[in-house]
Amino acid sequence: MDLDKFKVHGEPLIYGAMISIALATIGILVGLTYFKKWGYLWREWLTTVDHKKIGIMYILAALLMLFRGGVDAMMMRLQTAAPEMKFLDAQHYNEVFTTHGLIMILFMAMPFIIGLMNVIIPLQIGARDVAFPRLNAVSFWLFFMGAMLLNISFVIGGSPDAGWSAYFPLASLEFSPTVGNNYYSLALQISGIGTLITGVNFIVTILKMRAPGMTLMKMPMFTWSVLITNVIIVFAFPVLTIALAMMMFDRLFGSQFFTMANGGMDMLWANLFWVWGHPEVYIVILPAFGIYSEIIATFSKKNLYGYTSMVFSMLIISLLSFLVWAHHFYTMGQGAMVNSFFSITTMAIAVPTGVKIFNWLFTLRKGRITFTTPMLYTLAFIPIFTIGGVTGVMLAMASADYQYHNTMFLVAHFHYVLIPGAVFAVIAGFHYWFPKVFGFRLNERLGKHAFWWIIISFNVTFFPMFFLGLMGMTRRLYTYSKESGFGPLNMLSFVGAVGLAIGFVILVYNIYWSTRYMPRDTTNDPWDGRTLEWATHSPIPLYNFAIVPKVETRDALWSAKQENIPLYTDTKYTKIHMPSNTGKPFILGVVFFFLGFFLVFSMWIPAIVAGIGILVVLAFMSFDKDQGYYIPVEEVIATEKKLMRGETV
Amino acid sequence: MKIDASKPLEYSTEENSNKIFGFWVFLGAEIPLFATLFTVYFVMVNRFASGPSGSELFEIGPVLMETFLLLSSSFTIGLAVHAMRHGYKKAMMVFMAITLVMGLAFVGIEIDEFFTYVHEGATLQTSGFLSSLFILLGTHGLHVSFGLLWGIGIMIQLWKRGITPATANKTFIFSLFWHFLDVVWIFIFSFVYLKGLM
Ligand code: HEM
Ligand SMILES: [Cu+2]
């Protein structure tokens, strides 16, 4: 066999990465063996079907990917910090911006949000679990294995290099001959299937498993945002599935979908990609709106202003998100009529988004505001996101876009929407819900330090890019001459990126510090919350709620506290049905990983074996008779007693 | 497990009715999936390059046969569910077996058709039109083939475990899947074959 194709072309940085990956892997394996943690890992994590643990794994993986994507970002900023830098070569720069974009959106922002929703949604709706716990584990492992598949591309065979949007013909075998884009099509396919399953699972969970009394219009705003997001997932991801399959066929089997000859059509890819890609942006941003709504209401001690209009604006945004895809390629020759249509639909999105912004401002008005870390991120989000939105409207004007298209102005714009709109939100949500999951808060002082570093550095990093774009610096440019005059602003942007990195390091250090030193929270409700997740113990018992709560108003817990409307009308404990752990989802993920890997390298026989392996695992899952088990009443009572005394179980 | 006797067996537990609802949502995702495939096909339908066009390639005979088989099998799976509701395990198994045999014949004809096309020099690589034709038919065919394996699995479980809330639930969901494939085929039959033959 030709071992050469597994090698990546020599560059000291890549060899460095290889060695560190190898060392880290060996370190983990040795560590697990030495501390005898294999059994623990298998029983508690790899086979878990508990939505809270699955959520935690999503979040850990997302943090890891934030680090990976962040290192990519730092490398790009370093390479362009000054004219004629010789840090990365052109090919390596291509790979880095491609994986940066892919990882940040698909393997960081989206999983982080899915992680939060896994942990919180069942609690917010007063349910004991998600609708399909085992399928939930399948989702996680498919996402995780897809992410790993993309990550190893860097050291085995080469990463994708045609941008995260992988436009054809650039991404075709002819112009992108390494296996990089094979990885693209397969890694995204595998994790995409996982996402689709999540979408189905959470739609059913939210529509079918709400606590008695919680009508749709009494659902917390985060739950609403997640419901709408999952509907978008179910309609958008199948388009990606097909587009990726076609990409794979073109690259592996020589089909003619996106070729330049034989009747292929390269613009077909651009269209399909963005029919999925634009809604994808809303998949990461709508839940963020939900998170911010919860935080603003909690820390202003007020009901959310304009609840109904909030819901409707999200519904409208989700519909419009499917009608704007061509604003990503106004300049690619589709004519004035088409451009006008997409220009108008795009600008229309600003209306419901504006409604939401005003609702948040009205909620804040005359509120009793406490400036906690999650609240600070929320308050910073509003103006920064507005800058992103305004520049978005500038880009939406087709004629003007001929000027900005593919310049750093665009890069600045989408970071101005994505980072406050997704990253700040997940950080805020992380700080906000952390005590629910772990039973203690993160340190506020460290949290605020990290906050100021991140907010200030964010603007230092990205604001100069607007000007760079207007000066004519194109996107994805790996080097430039001194005469271009791009140098100083790029240097400023690099300085900002370093500040951002420092901010994130403080954030992670805060997790470590707080784990060791923060006092345990005994109230279960440290922020004086409004929604049901604060009505159970922290950390959350396996069964979430010993007694299923009854909901009468929108902010059920708040009403319980303010107006003495009882949440728990039943007083008798009963036995509780739980699903049992299973290793099959993990095994399924591993087999999918191998299938992907073999296909990337066109190793047909092993690929067929892996394909059959998948069918076998599925058959085992289908024949499984396991009906779960019951937690007996005595055990529920004992656990509740312990938790009420503030002990951990 | 609580069983609610006022409902059909396949809906009788909360988990069961969630599964059925979940499967409807999943079918909701199959609609954009096939819609994308059809869109791609319509975009590509006149891009033959140097290869054959639909009217040169398609033959009505086998396609009518395929249509007959799939439509009838959609009927027999309905009969299987009907038998299940009455608790006639044997009749149910027979109808399922007939369904699967017809599905198998469908796949057989389709594979034979693919071989004929390829034999005539109309391959996946020939033109944009053919690539999109193969991926549309192939995705549908793959669904049917997967359905065959799935159906066999369910039959084994029925045979071993009888008609229980779990097996009834699986059979019912399988029948939804099978009907859906039938609907997709009607679109393929009308907009790919009939239109292509005109
Ligand atoms: C943490 C600080 C970050 C920095 C310093 C940074 C920097 C950059 C730079 C310099 C580029 C342009 C590369 C080029 O065109 O040559 C880029 C592209 C991109 N970034 Fe970021 N980024 C950061 C975070 C994020 C986040 C959080 C997301 C998404 C949630 C994101 C998504 C993207 C995408 C989608 C691209 C386009 C990639 C492509 O052109 O294919 N970035 N980033
Ligand atoms: Cu867009």
Buried b (16+ CB within 10 A) or exposed e, B102-125: bbbbbbebbeebbeebeeeebbbb
pLDDT-derived band of residue A9, with 50, 70 and 90 as boundaries? low
Lowest mean pLDDT among A20-29, A256-265, B100-109: A20-29
Q: Residues with beta carbon < 5 A to ion ligand 2?
A: A 278
Query: Could you tell me which residues of chain A have a Cβ less than 8 Å from any Cβ in chain B?
Result: 131-132, 196, 199-201, 203-204, 207-209, 234-239, 241-243, 245-246, 249, 253-257, 259, 261-265, 268, 272, 615, 619, 622-623, 627
Q: Find the helix packing angle between A307-320 and A266-300, rounded to 10°.
A: 170
| pLDDT > 70 fraction of chain A, expressed in percent and rounded | 98
pLDDT at residue B1 greater than cutoff 70: no
CA A239 from chain center: how many Å?
19
Beta strand spans in B3-154 (E): none
Which of B14, B33, B136 to probe the A interface (max A CBs under 10 A)? Answer: B33
User: From ligand 2's centre to the CA of A169, what distance in Å?
Assistant: 21
pLDDT at residue A1 greater than cutoff 60: no
Please indicate whether, in this complex, the C-beta atoms of B132 and A257 are within 8 angstroms of each other. Answer: yes
For the segment A550-577, the average pLDDT, to the nearest whole number, is: 89
Minimum Cα–Cα distance from B46: chain A residue: A263
User: From ligand 2's centre to the CA of B31, what distance in Å?
Assistant: 23
Atom of ligand 1 nearest to the CA of A419: 27
Contact A494, A468 (CB under 8 A): no
Burial bucket for residue A254 (CB in 10 Å: 0-12, 13-18, 19+): middle
Question: A366-425 pLDDT, tens per residue?
Answer: 889 999 999 999 999 999 999 999 999 999 999 899 888 899 999 999 999 999 999 999
Rounded to the nearest integer, the mean pLDDT of chain A is 93
Within 8 A of B126 by CB-CB distance, chain A residues are 256, 262
pLDDT-derived band of residue A24, with 50, 70 and 90 as boundaries? confident
DSSP at A420: I
| The pLDDT of residue A271 | 96
pLDDT at residue A575 greater than cutoff 80: yes
Contacts of A534 (CB under 8 A, 6+ apart): A436, A524, A525, A527, A557
pLDDT-derived band of residue A256, with 50, 70 and 90 as boundaries? very high
For the segment A137-162, the average pLDDT, to the nearest whole number, is: 94
**Which parts of A301-405 fold into alpha helices (H)?**
307-320, 336-364, 373-396, 398-404
pLDDT-derived band of residue A637, with 50, 70 and 90 as boundaries? very high
Atom of ligand 1 nearest to the CA of A93: 16
Rounded to the nearest integer, the mean pLDDT of chain B is 94
Please indicate whether, in this complex, the C-beta atoms of A207 and B170 are within 8 angstroms of each other. Answer: no
Name the residue among B169, B176, B56 with its Cα closest to residue B184. B176
User: From ligand 2's centre to the CA of A274, what distance in Å?
Assistant: 7
Which of B1, B24, B125 to probe the A interface (max A CBs under 10 A)? Answer: B125
Query: Which of B36, B139, B157 is facing A272, going by the closest CB pair?
Result: B36
Please indicate whether, in this complex, the C-beta atoms of A263 and B129 are within 8 angstroms of each other. Answer: yes
For the segment B175-192, the average pLDDT, to the nearest whole number, is: 97
User: For residues A454 and B187, what is the distance between their CA atoms, to the nearest angstrom?
Assistant: 53
Name the residue among A320, A117, A346 with its Cα closest to residue A232. A320
User: For residues A43 and A595, what is the distance between their CA atoms, to the nearest angstrom?
Assistant: 26
For the segment A350-377, the average pLDDT, to the nearest whole number, is: 94
Please indicate whether, in this complex, the C-beta atoms of B22 and A615 are within 8 angstroms of each other. Answer: no
Neighbouring CB atoms inside 10 A of A316's CB total 16
Please indicate whether, in this complex, the C-beta atoms of B18 and A264 are within 8 angstroms of each other. Answer: no
Question: A30-73 pLDDT, tens per residue?
Answer: 888 888 888 888 989 999 999 999 999 999 999 999 999 999 99
Contact B107, B140 (CB under 8 A): no
| The pLDDT of residue B3 | 67
Question: B133-163 pLDDT, tens per residue?
Answer: 999 999 999 999 999 999 999 999 999 999 9
Task: Give the binding-site residues of ligand 1, using a 6 Å CB cut-off.
Answer: A 70, 73, 76-77, 97-98, 100-101, 104-105, 109, 163-165, 411, 415, 418-419, 422-423, 461, 475-477, 497, 500
State residue A362 phi and psi, 5-degree precision. Answer: -70, -30
User: For residues A403 and A411, what is the distance between their CA atoms, to the nearest angstrom?
Assistant: 14
pLDDT at residue B102 greater than cutoff 60: yes
Minimum Cα–Cα distance from A243: chain B residue: B36
pLDDT at residue A649 greater than cutoff 80: no
| The pLDDT of residue A530 | 94
Question: B47-89 pLDDT, tens per residue?
Answer: 998 889 999 999 999 999 999 999 999 999 999 999 999 999 9
Within 8 A of A617 by CB-CB distance, chain B residues are none
Ligand 1 pocket test target in A107, A405, A408, A415 with most atoms within 8 Å of CB: A415
Within 8 A of B19 by CB-CB distance, chain A residues are 132
Minimum Cα–Cα distance from B49: chain A residue: A262
pLDDT at residue A645 greater than cutoff 90: no
Atom 16 of ligand 1, nearest CA residue: A476
Query: Which of B19, B21, B125 is facing A254, going by the closest CB pair?
Result: B125
| pLDDT > 70 fraction of chain B, expressed in percent and rounded | 98
pLDDT-derived band of residue A334, with 50, 70 and 90 as boundaries? confident
State residue A323 phi and psi, 5-degree precision. Answer: -115, 15
Contact B121, A252 (CB under 8 A): no
Instruction: Give the minimum alpha-carbon distance from A645 to chain B in angstroms, rounded to a whole number.
Output: 32
Atom 15 of ligand 1, nearest CA residue: A476
Strand partners, A630: A577
For the segment A580-594, the average pLDDT, to the nearest whole number, is: 96
Strand partners, A577: A630
Query: Which of B28, B36, B47 is facing A263, going by the closest CB pair?
Result: B47
pLDDT at residue A459 greater than cutoff 60: yes
Which of A255, A268, A280, A627 to probe the B interface (max B CBs under 10 A)? Answer: A255
User: For residues B26 and B143, what is the distance between their CA atoms, to the nearest angstrom?
Assistant: 14
pTM of the model: 0.95
pLDDT-derived band of residue A23, with 50, 70 and 90 as boundaries? confident
Question: A518-529 pLDDT, tens per residue?
Answer: 998 888 899 999
